[in-house]
Structure 1
Amino acid sequence: MFDLRRRSSTVAIQVIVTVMIIPFVFPLIAMVRGSLEGQGWQNYLTVLSVEELPLFFRNSIVIALGTLVPVYLCTMLAAFGFSKLRIPFKELYFWLLIATLALPEVVLLTPMFTTAMALNLYNTYLAVIIPLAALQLPFTVLLTRNFVNGIPDELIEAAELDGASLMRTFTHVLLPLTKPIAAAVIVLTVVTAWNNFLLPLVFLQDASHQTITQLPLFFVGEFSNDQTKVLAAAVVTIIPEVITYIALQKYFERGMAAGAIK
């Protein structure tokens, strides 16, 4: 058993963590190095000169924020209900929700496409936002419920005794205490929505609605395949995600640690 007060244990843990990180660091290093080959920084200038770039960024921001709002609200409400409220068969409903984690996005593509067409949502932001939010909810609810389970029931009961309504208890007691897990939900949702390639490609036919994930395709065609600029476009694409994570890093790490362990 590791004793963190011993130097040997600390070194061993550091080595294990380093080995675990290597498979993720090397692809990033290779991506940045590859993006600077050939014309060097000119590759980035070429990517930034793409006329549709501001439009792609706008569309990605709209979809990311449009996905974040329902995911955050539904996650917090669901976690509050599953953890603190007396709801008949709530454990059954919870596990039915968790069971959907076993369904991959590709399997659901055909029914989602049929539904979007039936509701006249095809080629609109909602055709991407609604499926993204629905696919993200099971995991965020699981994570947040574990966090909310750690909040003492006495706080909820005290608010009820003071005459607070259910909604007031939720907004004034629960939400302020869930800031760490909320940061984790925000980062996970934004990264997932920002990185999603398949749904915008399928549901957004109009080029003016495409997202930033389509940017590398500008440098791959029938008669061209400029991988240096593809890698430069990939680097440009991940910059907003890195900024979001750095801004919320402290809360994200606390939230993930608390939400993953009951």
Structure 2
Amino acid sequence: MTLRNRLFQSVVLIWFLLYSIAVVYPLIWLIMNGLKSNREFFLDTWSLPKELLWSNYVLAWNAGVGRFFFNSVFVTVVSVLLVLVLGSMAAYGLSRFRFKGANVLLIIILSGLMLAPQVSLISLYKMLQTIGLYNTYWALIIPYVAFQLPFAIFLMRSYFLSIPRELEESAVMDGCNTFKVYWHIILPIGKPILASAALLTGMNVWNEFMFALVFVEDTALRTIPVGLMNLRAQLNTNFGVQLAGLAISAFPMIMAFMLFQKQFVRGLSAGSVKG
């Protein structure tokens, strides 16, 4: 390698090292201070805890984080499953079937990407009250699915276009109908893009705050972002327990990305070659 290439490679490595530290250090700080007493947190915020107070996590869980956590898990899992099922069916149809108005339908679906959720807040609030879904899990799940579907369809359609049609033609010749082709060929081959769509959808739903605050008022139904805000009001003198609750809320998405990062990268890179 020439000196210029080595210098460029070193600059790139240093940049990614600094970026990694900027991303990882706040998480380490959060976990570290979640194990401190309130007094130790104020006296020395940046030091390692002298005594590991795992009881902070137990207190945070019993103070309501446990209930909020399971609410978020339920809403996120149901929303992700609905987005994957409905999105993959729509993406398969738009990528394989030729019918009049297909491009117009695709444009209408993708136009959902241009609609900010904040714009529809009042209309959705009145609509959910009218149909009797306000202050239920479905008051969150239905809007989440509606706003996440356009990007999921766009992502999966791009990936499905890269799958050779010869595989489907061979399956049809062997007696498979359209649904069997979708179920036994398209979905197994499309696992990377399904994992990518699931991760992106799950992250957005898990961290969503505005709809969860407005559409649900019962404390027993609140998700973890809104629940942590209430926890802050209850435990305004115990920052160790508050930080422990924040660490619990961040843990599922971190683990999900670590477990499915290969499929996530494969799905996004493979889906980018056709569109």
Please state which band the TM-score falls in when normalised by the shorter chain: 0.7 to 0.9
Provide the rounded CA distance (Å) in 1 between the counterparts of 2:32 and 2:112. Answer: 39
Partners of 1:159 and 1:222 in 2: how far apart?
Answer: 60
Worse overlay, 213-222 or 160-169: 213-222
Find the aligned partners of 1:204 and 1:144 in 2 and give their Cα distance.
31
Tell me by how many angstroms 1:230 deviates: 2.9
Query: In the alignment, is the contact (CA less than 8 A) between 1:144 and 1:181 conserved in 2?
Result: yes
* Equivalent AA in structure 2 for residue 14 of structure 1: L
Amino acid at match of 1:106: Q
Alpha-carbon offset, residue 83 of structure 1? 1.1
Select 2:199's aligned residue among 169, 187, 197. 187
Equivalent position amino acid for 1:187 in 2: L
**Closer, same or farther in 2 for the Cα pair 1:109/1:257, shift >3 Å?**
same
Partner of 2:105: 93
Instruction: Give CA-to-partner distance per residue, 1:83-121, whole Å, 9 cap, x none.
Output: 111122212211222122122221111111111111100
Question: d(CA) in 2 for partners of 1:239 and 1:193?
Answer: 15
Deviates more, 1:22-31 or 1:55-64: 22-31
Structure 1 segments unaligned to the other structure (5+ residues): none
Aligned-partner SS, 1:221 = helix
In structure 2, the CA distance between the partners of 1:222 and 1:62, relative to structure 1 (3 Å rule), is closer
The reply on whether 1:49 has 2:48 as its aligned counterpart is no
Could you say what the CA RMSD is over the residues aligned between the two structures, in angstroms?
Answer: 2.6
The yes-or-no answer on 1:249 pairing with 2:257 is no
Question: Does 2:171 correspond to 1:171?
Answer: no
The change in CA–CA distance for 1:223 and 1:170 in structure 2 (over 3 A counts) is closer
What is the TM-score normalised by the length of structure 1?
0.86
Q: Is the 8 A contact 2:109 2:150 kept in 1?
A: yes
8 Å CA contact 1:159, 1:169 repeated in 2:
yes
Amino acid at match of 1:130: I
Counterparts of 2:126 and 2:159 in 1: how far apart (Å)? 36
Query: After TM superposition, where is structure 1 displaced by more than 6 Å over at least 4 residues in a row?
Result: none
Shift, 1:12, TM fit: 4.3
In structure 2, the gaps of 5 or more residues are: 39-48
Give the partner amino acid of 1:74: L
Q: TM-score, normalised by structure 2?
A: 0.83
Matched residue, 2:17: 18
Cα-to-partner distance string for 1:125-167 (whole Å, 9 max, x where unaligned): 1110000011111111111111111101222222233332111
Change (3 A) 1:193 1:25: same
- The alpha carbon displacement at 1:68 in A equals 1.3
- The verdict on how the C-alpha distance between 1:76 and 1:222 changes in structure 2, with shifts beyond 3 A counting, is closer
State, as a whole percentage, how many aligned pairs show the same letter: 30
Partners of 1:219 and 1:226 within 8 A in 2: no
1:147 matched residue in structure 2: 159
Q: Is the 8 A contact 2:158 2:271 kept in 1?
A: yes
Secondary structure of the residue that 1:220 maps to in structure 2?
A: helix
Aligned twin of 2:44: none
CA contact (8 A) 1:216 1:231 kept: no
Partner of residue 60, structure 1: 72
Question: Secondary structure of the residue that 2:98 maps to in structure 1?
Answer: coil
